[in-house]
Structure 1
Amino acid sequence: MHIPDGFIPFWQCAIYYIILIVALYFASKWARNNLDEKRIPLLAVLAAGIFAIMSMNMPIPFGTSGHMVGGALVAIIFCAPEAAVLVFTVVLLIQALIFGDGGITALGANVLNMAIIGGFVGLYTFKGLKGKIGIYASAGIGAWLATVIAALACAIEMAIAGTFPLNVGIASMVTYHIFIGIIEAVLTVIVIMALEKFRPDLLAWNKNKIAEGGE
């Protein structure tokens, strides 16, 4: 799902960079108000894990690459897409600069797809379903849907850029990520189950519950 340099015209990259700058502004405000000494290490561990899973990618015919993402996982754990924006800006920048995975000019588009779109879709799917089907099922569905919608957004962006037609992008990007999303859903549920069992205080919805006087 990494878009490399040259796949999107510079003027379109500039638009995505403006979106990134605005997102980073809100993410920095969120970090100042919400990150403490317990949650900063968790954010760092998630960043390292996401770096690892995104490094295991495969080429997609007529597309960019296929891999797990993790934007939904970060957003769900912190109940904030802003957390995903912070993590993915750092991870994608390092991957582009050091490993040549993705591009500097396409950084804004990549953060938009994986962190902003993926984070929002994953979190609000989770919030909408949590009371109906439970934490784990809603987290899994949110992670799967976030992966698929992020891949669709990537295909649309490259169709707008004229890189390849939308039907080709959907056939290659979305189809692959439908299956990749299943693995992402399982991984997301495993991580949340582990935190719920061993460190429930690090999960934002538990923190909110404690603050409201719940159990």
Structure 2
Amino acid sequence: MESRQSLAVAEEGLGDDDVNLPRAAVNKMIKEMVPNIRVANDARELVLNCCTEFIHLLSSEANEACGKQQKKTISAEHIVEALKSLGFGGYVDEVNEVLTEHKKETKQRRKASTKLEKMGIPEEELLRQQQALFAQARLEQAQAEQEEYLKWQQAQQMMQQQQTETHEEGKSSEEATTVAAAAAATTTTTTAPPAPVPETATATASSRTDGNDDEDDYECE
């Protein structure tokens, strides 16, 4: 009970984000477990709270087991004992498998660190090389993104140019059609046949001509 009270007191000075699991990690685990099902936000929040509460309960129980053995450090054995005492004994085998895998990975990391130490490369130099590699990777990524943007921009310009040329060609074709139609109309107007003379005008002209002939005959007499 004292260990649980001490944990509660320690958490009073922390915010919700400080005592909860990372949301991104929990969301990733949910997506891996149910990839084809959409999980609502309130359900994600509930899973996050349940995981956090479970870790608090397990830590408190492991702390009590550690105190009973008069130890100052909670070990993996204390976690296993806490699982059993809380009724989660069915998870002990999986926990032991994860613990074995973790020990192997830790051993491999130590070997790699020892090799680097034997090579005589200081840790500061390794850190500098790592930062240089990160900077180079960011620069290459930026250059690749810039090239992709330029390609996209050129493609857009070519598309706009093609659209402009197509529009100009259509406009020129319409103007040529208009000029041809106007020329055809002008030619038709020029070659049109003369209008027919009314019959009344012809008769009047004939009568005038006959009258003139009579006058000529009279003068001759």
TM-score, normalising length: structure 1: 0.26
- Bigger relative contact order, structure 1 or 2 (CA pairs below 8 A, ≥6 apart): 1
Please state which structure has a larger fraction of its residues in helix.
Answer: 2
Larger Rg: 2
